[in-house]
Amino acid sequence: MVDMNVNLAAANKIEDPAYSAPVKLGVSDLTIRYGGTPALSGVNLEVREHEIFGIIGPANAGKTSFLKTLNRMDTFNTNMSVEGEILFNGLNVQNLKNIYALRSRIGVVFPLPVGLPLTIYENVALSPRLRGIRRKSELDVIVERCLSRAALWDEVKDRLDSLGSLLSGGQQQRLTIARALSQEPDLLMLDEFSIAVDPVTTMRIEDVLKELKHDMTIILVTNLVQQARRLADRTAFFLEGECVEVGITEDLFTGEVQDQRTRDYVEGKFG
């Protein structure tokens, strides 16, 4: 088995000034179990501010379970236990009393669009309203900004009072992104966002993510290795509940990898 401490050190020895950014998320010795069965074991990695951090790997590698622990979605599953340390902005998320405050700083986009039974406008305005913003003029600005950042404004600006559920699948996914952005998150997590989205819309969302990383940190879980190659600054490879390797994304495709399983996966030999 590869020594993850060696991997972590190697992943952080990056000369590019962009990688001297502060650590947004630090994970140490993270183990996740469902009942007595480990889903992920001994994960050590760091995600830095204003980077897109990719996570690749086949099904049942532990990728989604990893995301669930970051904003304490494990509390929804009494069968799920978490060990280790997760530091978000320097605070241990396992010790935070106000989980809702944590979740307000971490936006999540799931594989399939999760639309609320609300209008397009209210889908995006809901989170600001919950934060106490009531003036319509302020809400109007937020809704337009979030829909524009999600590359959806031009398509829906004339029908904001229509139900979000009437949008196409790709539009609903972008509405989900706009709703996540309305939280003004520090960290945006996307779990297989393109699984139900057509290729053209996927590329539009990818362009959006490239812009968003200037304002926030992004974790991108994908089973499309070329998507990770296009977007991610650094990438972690998960396999069978293990974080096999973390490195500069392009190095995982063209450079020296630490584990042959990584090369085999990115070259499509399994998965």
How far apart CA 201 and CA 50 sit, in angstroms, is 23
Per-residue pLDDT for 142 more than 90? yes
Per-residue pLDDT at 19? 60
pLDDT, average across residues 18-29: 84
Least confident of 2-16, 60-74, 185-199, 200-214: 2-16
Express as a percent the part of the chain with pLDDT over 70: 93
DSSP at 131:
T
pLDDT, average across residues 247-254: 92
Per-residue pLDDT for 114 more than 80? no
pLDDT, average across residues 247-268: 90
Per-residue pLDDT at 104? 86
> Is the separation of the CB atoms in 206 and 197 below 8 Å?
no
Per-residue pLDDT at 76? 85
72-105 confidence digits (pLDDT tens): 988 888 899 999 999 999 999 988 888 888 888 9
> Is the separation of the CB atoms in 63 and 6 below 8 Å?
no
Strand order in the sheet with 91-92: 91-92, 80-88, 23-34, 37-48, 242-248, 234-239, 52-56, 217-221, 187-191, 106-109
Reduced DSSP (H G I as helix, E B as strand, rest coil) percent helix, strand, coil of the chain, to 5: 40, 25, 30
Residue 11 pLDDT grade (very low, low, confident, very high; cuts 50, 70, 90): very low
28-50 confidence digits (pLDDT tens): 999 999 998 999 999 999 999 99
pLDDT, average across residues 130-146: 95
Per-residue pLDDT for 4 more than 60? no
Express as a percent the part of the chain with pLDDT over 90: 63
CA of residue 134 relative to chain centroid, distance: 29
Query: 4-266: which CATH topology?
Result: Rossmann fold (3.40.50)
pLDDT, average across residues 118-132: 94
Selection from 24, 70, 28 nearest residue 234 by Cα: 24
How far apart CA 74 and CA 86 sit, in angstroms, is 13
Mean pLDDT estimate for the chain: 88
Residue 179 pLDDT grade (very low, low, confident, very high; cuts 50, 70, 90): very high
pLDDT, average across residues 191-200: 86
Per-residue pLDDT at 218? 97
Q: Is the pTM above the cut of 0.85?
A: yes
Per-residue pLDDT for 12 more than 80? no
Per-residue pLDDT at 126? 93
